[in-house]
Structure 1
Amino acid sequence: MRKLIYGMNLTLDGYIAAAGDDIGWSGPPSHELFQWWLDHEQASGLSLYGRKLWETMSSYWPTGDQQPNATPAEIEFARTWRDTPKVVFSSTIDEVDWNTRLVTGDAIAEITRLKAEDGGPMNIGGATLAGAAMRAGLIDEYVIAAHPVLVGGGTPFFTALDSWVNLNLVETRTFPGGVVLTRYETRR
């Protein structure tokens, strides 16, 4: 059975994007934080995306290694991103590319099916998609890279839940710029 991991950069007050889908609060990550996310991506067997996050990632990473100032880690991330199998859940786009398949039907049924397969861990991203998986009790691990900024509103990392989810802390790490990464496993 595969592990499902939900992780993103977010503000200290819990938002992955400020009002108007503004992610400018995060700025470029430190080399150390970027390397952590690269290692995380390389350990993944499959990435699951909602439409908005897919559009953000696919607008840059297919050619991220060809940018004039790309660092070695960014070049490796772009290559890893292209090579990692991906599933996009959306009913509003018609096609996807770069080792990706599109699912337009029941996301929870498909995520449940994918979790039951053998393989490496799966990453899930996008507030709406991850929120649905969270409410269905499918998330096994949460990765929070909290940046020292308050934006007061926007797209929250966490969704409203019907019941409590108890977690165990498995990692805490501080990165340059005051970013604090915490990892929690769901207590089952």
Structure 2
Amino acid sequence: MRKLVYGMNVSLDGYVAAAGGDIGWGVSSDELFRWWLDQELRIEMFLYGRKLWETMSSHWPTGDQRPGATPAEREFARNWRDTPKVVFSSTIGELDWNARLVTGDAVAEIARLKAEDGGPMRVGGATLAAAAMRAGLVDEYEIVTHPVLVGGGMPFFTALESRVNLNLVQTRSFPGGVVMTRYETTPSSV
């Protein structure tokens, strides 16, 4: 059975994007980027909602060819292209870059993929992740909190019908006051 991981950069007030979809408020550092790269290298399949797919596919297919790309950015781009991706959308037409489209029931497909043998999957995009959270499918949360209050936008967490108990398994600080916390769901939550 595969593990499902949900992790994103988050403002201190809990948003992955500010109003209007702005994601430019994060504190960047080479150390944080390398940490994200290390996390992505252990993932065997990415699950994307439409908005995150559009963001990632607008940059990473050629991210390693951009002037000034760091070695970590080049490695991230190669890994992104090589890793299988499943995109959940009813409005996207064609996909490329080792991705396939699912237009039907996202929760049923995520549950099916999770039941397969294999390595961890990462669900990306707050709306898609919210559906997986409400269905009790998320096994691990990687929350990278940035020291900024954006006041509103797309929240990292969704409203749930019942409590989910978590176990803190790791914390780490990064330059600029960024803090990563990683939690696993406890058996009574799943």
Band of TM-score, shorter chain: over 0.9
- Partner Cα distance (2:39, 2:72) in 1: 13
Aligned to 2:2: 2
Aligned to 2:87: 88
Unaligned runs of 5+ in 2: none
- Partner Cα distance (2:163, 2:156) in 1: 16
1:100-139 counterparts in 2 under 5 A? Answer: 100-139=99-138
Question: How many residue pairs were aligned?
Answer: 187
Aligned to 2:76: 77
What fraction of aligned residue pairs are identical, expressed as a percent? 78
- Partner Cα distance (1:124, 1:153) in 2: 22
Cα displacement (A) at 1:183: 0.2
Q: Deviations 1:19-42 (Å, cap 9, x if unpaired)?
A: 000111115x21111011101111
Q: Deviations 1:62-101 (Å, cap 9, x if unpaired)?
A: 0000110100000000000000000000001111110000
Aligned to 1:178: 177
Unaligned runs of 5+ in 1: none
Aligned to 1:17: 17
- Partner Cα distance (2:157, 2:103) in 1: 23
Cα displacement (A) at 1:138: 0.2
- Partner Cα distance (1:71, 1:182) in 2: 26
Q: Give me the CA root mean square deviation.
A: 0.6
- Partner Cα distance (2:86, 2:139) in 1: 18
SS of match in other structure, 1:105: coil
What is the TM-score when the length of structure 2 is the normalising length?
Answer: 0.97
Aligned to 1:52: 51
- Partner Cα distance (1:70, 1:168) in 2: 37
SS of match in other structure, 1:137: coil
- Partner Cα distance (1:56, 1:26) in 2: 15
SS of match in other structure, 1:144: strand
What is the TM-score when the length of structure 1 is the normalising length?
Answer: 0.98
Cα displacement (A) at 1:52: 0.1
